[in-house]
Amino acid sequence: MLGKIERVKLSEEIFQRLKDMIKNGQFGYGDKLPGEKRLAEIFGVSRTTVREALAGLEAEGWIITKQGGGTYVRRLHSAAGPIEPLTSLLGGKNVAILELMEVRKILECEVAMLAALRATPEDIIEIKAAYRNMVEAVAQGADTTISDFAFHYAVAKAAKNNTIISIISYLYELYAEVVKNGKYHKSKPAGYKLILTEHEKIVKAIEQRKCHAAHRAMEIHLDRAHRILEEVLVEYYNSNLNP
């Protein structure tokens, strides 16, 4: 199929390589990954690029970073992993991905409010770094999926609730699987400038400890994302019904 060639950021390529190495068993459960400096040397990139790739892996639940103790493989996936029954169940329903978006809205608005209440200075730094990575991805015309996941995961971590962190990680993985396995193509949303503005408002509200403002900023962002997704689905099904 002819079409525009999508640019891929170095961090996304490293993200995929490390993910494949975990899935292929080159890094086993509980194994410690090489440090940022060593990975940067291995891949021939900057430590910032490696850091962004690792943030994406952590956001999807593949690795866990221990304060001052390095980065470790958190889990492995097999073909019959725990996600497969759910994706099989939901994959045949046109509404499945919209239902997942509704779950995100219910959960993540409260998460943003908790983050504004509980975030440490280190959490704020991580959230801001994730936001800057999104800005960079947009500027380069690259896919923002990984940096977006990393941003929302950083907010979840700031909420200081391990159950929430696990749910967010699993939810994003399930969301990605349903998109990948769906019978439609999820187009990129228009208006990246507005998307960045929405994320910036979330950052500022959390940094300023404004709980209700953080809740509202996340709600506005996810409401618009939901509407865009609905439009994408309608456009897809209309084009397939009327080729």
pLDDT tens-digit profile, the chain (243 residues): 444 444 557 888 899 899 888 887 788 767 889 999 999 999 999 888 898 889 888 877 788 887 677 888 876 554 334 444 444 444 444 446 778 888 889 999 999 999 999 999 999 998 998 899 889 888 887 777 778 888 998 999 999 998 888 788 777 777 666 555 554 444 455 567 888 999 999 999 999 999 999 999 999 999 988 888 787 777 766 666 555
Looking at residue 183, its pLDDT comes to 46
Smallest Cα–Cα separation from 82: which of 214, 173, 218? 173
Looking at residue 226, its pLDDT comes to 85
Backbone φ and ψ for 72, nearest 5 degrees, come out as -130, 150
Looking at residue 4, its pLDDT comes to 46
- Answer for the pair 226, 98: CB distance below 8 angstroms, yes or no: yes
Q: Where in the chain is the domain with CATH 1.20.120.530?
A: 83-241
The fold adopted by the segment(s) 10-73 is: Arc Repressor Mutant, subunit A (1.10.10)
- Answer for the pair 114, 161: CB distance below 8 angstroms, yes or no: yes
Looking at residue 7, its pLDDT comes to 52
- Separation CA 64–CA 216 (nearest Å): 30
Looking at residue 231, its pLDDT comes to 78
- Answer for the pair 54, 40: CB distance below 8 angstroms, yes or no: no
- Separation CA 193–CA 16 (nearest Å): 27
Strands of the chain (E only): list them. 63-66, 70-73
| Domain 83-241, CATH | 1.20.120.530
Let me know how long the chain is. 243
Smallest Cα–Cα separation from 139: which of 7, 239, 233? 7
Residue found by looking up tokens 């995961």 in the block: 153
In sequence order, what are the residues at sequence separation of 6 or more whose Cβ sits closer than 8 angstroms to the Cβ of residue 6? 142, 143
